[in-house]
Amino acid sequence: MLNETPRTVEEAYISAGSSTNLRVEADRMGDADILIAAGWAPCMLGGQLTRLRREWDGCSKPPLCSVTDAKLVMGSLKSLGGVLDALTVWAQAKRNPEPARFALAITSHWLSDTCNACQGRGNESIPGTPKLGRTCKKCGGSGKAAVPMGQDGRKALNMLDHCVTRAGASMRKRLRASMGRPA
């Protein structure tokens, strides 16, 4: 983030000398609408995320700290590329200065929000002993990592959850229809 305090939409709009249509539209649209404008139906992305979660659960849960990390695990996480693409486009529309890094940080957090510093224990470990030390400074004892990328990060994570819910609902609807019951 270049700036810790988020600019208002108006300020951002005025300061953007040239904007693509999507960028201009992004100010007026909801977070999921930005995806739709970029050609991603929330349902489609939700399906992709559901597959990615399954792939993640079935693999060794590698760290996803850099674009290089992500490239290394593309083989075992076949749905990762699509999810990163969608989030990158979304972050571009939000004028994030590093959309690819944003996409990776959000996807990584969505897959696992365990605090890295304490491995989810909530306390610092004392080297050489099984005893728990002071409350983890990183997570304040919650064991959960803070949401990355500020306000847009939070919005993106909400959007991903929304997409997964949508995909689940549409799957159930199709299932009911295929069983000959009214949806």
Half-sphere exposure of 112 (CA within 13 A, CB side): 15
Residue 138 in the binding site for Zn ion (CB under 5 A): yes
Q: Are residues 175 and 109 in contact, defined by beta-carbon separation less than 8 angstroms?
A: no
Nearer to Zn ion, 138 or 162 (CB): 138
Q: How far is the CB of 111 from Zn ion (least distance, A)?
A: 17
Residue 38 in the binding site for Zn ion (CB under 5 A): no
Site for Zn ion in 69-98 (CB under 5 A): none
Determine how many CB atoms are found less than 10 A away from the CB of residue 124: 15
Burial label, 80 (beta-carbon count in 10 A; 0-12, 13-18, 19+): buried
Nearer to Zn ion, 115 or 159 (CB): 115
3-state secondary structure of 68: helix
Residue 159 in the binding site for Zn ion (CB under 5 A): no
The dihedral through the CA atoms of 81, 83, 89, 94 has a sign that is negative
Q: How far is the CB of 129 from Zn ion (least distance, A)?
A: 18
Residue 144 in the binding site for Zn ion (CB under 5 A): no
Q: How far is the CB of 119 from Zn ion (least distance, A)?
A: 8
Q: List the one residue from 77, 91, 115, 149 that touches Zn ion (CB under 5 A).
A: 115
Residue 136 in the binding site for Zn ion (CB under 5 A): yes
Q: List the one residue from 70, 139, 149, 157 that touches Zn ion (CB under 5 A).
A: 139
Site for Zn ion in 49-68 (CB under 5 A): none
Q: List the one residue from 43, 117, 132, 147 that touches Zn ion (CB under 5 A).
A: 117
Q: How far is the CB of 133 from Zn ion (least distance, A)?
A: 11
Nearest to 63 by CA among 111, 98, 25: 111
DSSP secondary structure code for residue 168 in this structure:
H
Q: List the one residue from 118, 159, 160, 163 that touches Zn ion (CB under 5 A).
A: 118
Complete DSSP assignment for 132-144 = EEEEPTTTTTS-B
Half-sphere exposure of 116 (CA within 13 A, CB side): 11
Query: Which stretches of the chain bind Zn ion, using CB under 5 A?
Result: 115, 117-118, 136, 138-139
